[in-house]
Structure 1
Amino acid sequence: MIAIKRLTTADADFAARIETLLAFESAQDDAVEATVTAILADVRQRGDAALIEYTARFDRIAVHSAGELELAPDEMQQALARLPEKQRTALTAAAERIRSYHLRQPLQSWHYEEEEGPLRGTLLGQKVTPLERVGLYVPGGKASYPSSVLMNAIPARVAGVEELIMVVPTPAGERNPMVLAAAALAGVDRVFTIGGAQAVAALAYGTQTVPKVDKIVGPGNAYVAAAKRRVFGIVGIDMLAGPSEILIISDGLASPDWLAMDLFSQAEHDELAQPILISPNAEHLDQVAEALARLLPSMPRRQIIRSALENRGALILVRDLAEACRIANRIAPEHLELALANAEDWLTHIRHAGAIFLGPFTSESLGDYCAGPNHVLPTSGSARFSSPLGVYDFQKRSSLIRVSGSGAHALGEIAATLAYGEGLAAHARSAEYRQQQDQDQLTCASVDQL
């Protein structure tokens, strides 16, 4: 059997028990932080020379120049061409669906003009501009995720990013052909076979060979996460992700085997992953518990799954589905499956979740690979204020303001009054100077092309 926790909202201590279950401290390891700090400083100071040394030390690859760490321009396309047909077809289909979904996301520039009164002719709006260069970190070696390449690179391309730089460690020269094939499909421009904190440093600061980027996205180990945290502000980053999470609300009609495997699908990521099932049907919870125990021995990563289920997993009995939704909003999970016969009817009850999977046939794994929406999602309750990665993460917005002479007079009085109230005389006088302009003597440029 699996010693997964059983909770019920009828118990007096339920609130305390759920708090304990959800508690997760992403404590920073002092040794990791010290190592990362030293690597970042070294790469910032010595550039390519430091990259060469760290690549030899950590990845066991000896090169004479950093240029040797960049793949030839045609190697990605060659990897795609050499994939077995079934893999190439699946990867291509996933890329097309992800691209199609994200093409519906782009934010457009917009503006409007005030048409009446003294502010007539005043223009206000927003100019949306893609980032110029983005860095994509991809785990390498045995832990290779071509799906993450698609999920990170395709939205960047849809957003209009001019150049996409991928870094991927290749321990002992081991290159994953599906990762390179995914890079070809996603439109990656350049690939460097570097990893770890040194790769993050190279992207953040730039070296003689690796160009500095505007933003770094993509998953990595503790060293990569620590490095991204430290360079934030010098460059943008996607998010600081915690362990994977899945929360399933079931009405008892879905197959217990299906739900057990859905819980496994996130538990197999990491011993700290959090798989939770909520249902108002006690017998159904018993059936899922039996399925977990019966199916676990067949799982290649069963030890990791068992640890996640026993350490941070739970089966929770609730009074009704409304209470289940309230608990889901409290947890704000990364993945939320509504394994309900009438899932859409309950969607209005959900406020906080990274991705919502509607109905018993919608497994979370489809979202990970090929449904279309992004699988880079907020974790650790941050779905309360964060969103999935998307096209908007690769764009920035600039405010547009244009006022006429009469508009400057009308707004200047307001601005000057507020500025004097804050004790900022130069602000006030800057506005007052424009009030002395009697007519619209200055020609306003057109903003038709934003």
Structure 2
Amino acid sequence: MYWIPGYRYPHPSVPIPSDGATDISLEYGLAWNYPYKKDYTNVSATVMVTGPGVNRTEIFQYPNNVLFETFEPGGTYHWSVIVDGVSGPTWEFTVKDRTYPLNDVSVDTTIIGIKTKDPDSLMVVSNNRLSFMRFDVPASINSSYKIGLNLMPHKKYILNGGIVIYKYGLEGWNQSFNSNNIGLVDKSLLTPIDTLSTIKEGELIKLDITPFIENNGEYSIALGTMNSEDSVSFYTSEKLLISKAGYRWELPYIPDKKAWPSLSFSKDSLSVSYDIPMEKGWNLISVPFTGVKTRPKQIFRSLIRKGLLEYVSSPKGYFKPKDPYSTLTSISSKEGYYIKLNGPVNKIFFRGRALTNKTISLSAGWNMIAYYPDYELAVDKAFESLIASNTLQYVTGFVQGALVY
């Protein structure tokens, strides 16, 4: 429940976020005020939310007035509330297409001690000084999204080598007074993923880090120098539009979000929403495009994250999550795969390219092949060339049991 003060109208009102709001977080709680009543006994509210990836209706009993939802980046959503047959207006809001750091800070690695969250608008990267950013990738971000790291340089003092972008392997670090404080934890868990050799002050840097984000949840990025004499500063999420001299609390808080570090989420020509329902148990599917990623744990990561995937089988091997002896190392657009799930799913997501070569080579005997069209075909129509040449002997399909032609 969220208490909203003020006048109560005869209909649901005071939406949070406000009607027409933009830059709303990808994970958000929608709230509203109930209409005025002398007696709220057995009063309920029906809330309807529609938009990209969301078509939801929920019923709340007074005084509960918050609906939590995860939204898609850049999506525009509409929602309304009905209380005892009385409807409020239809409200609209638009979700931002990025997420900002939970923490962003520069640390002198030669000093061991608590590093507090100070209103510092700069991250300095220099000798013995690393900068760390901790992000949360929302649950709505799936494999169909391209993920970009955005950084705004403040000052290039010296840059003879380059700035190394690392994936930092420690989760749960913070700037609180506990043992997980960034000033106390191991800061050597660094995997280099890119290098910035040229930097222009005040010019936004955009890096594609999609291959390094395998699931939703927490990810950390670190910045370091290649040479000990290099020194560069970047803006943090404390950067304001107004930065005149004086105490911070004397300034109007107008955040300069364009300069903040961020992870942005976008769909492009490689983004594919593979709208195929799968049942609990065995399913026979194909992946009818050339994937940007080909490893099974990347292709099926949304199923793995939800704990749904049990087994993938094909003539070339098998894949089982967390099984180091799995023999299936890549998913081909020209082959079929048996997938075993421990629960149903309506949609899976991929990033891939449309196929330019849709021919499939067949061998004598059994072949497990992909199905390319996004519509159904009668079996005799789909294989008419093989039937005409008297090559086809037998076709089997699988929908919770064998189908034979």
Where on the TM-score scale, by shorter chain, does this alignment land: which range?
under 0.3
Going by fraction, where is strand more abundant, 1 or 2?
2
TM-score of the aligned structures, taking structure 2 as reference length: 0.24
Structure of higher RCO (CA pairs closer than 8 Å, 6+ residues apart): 1
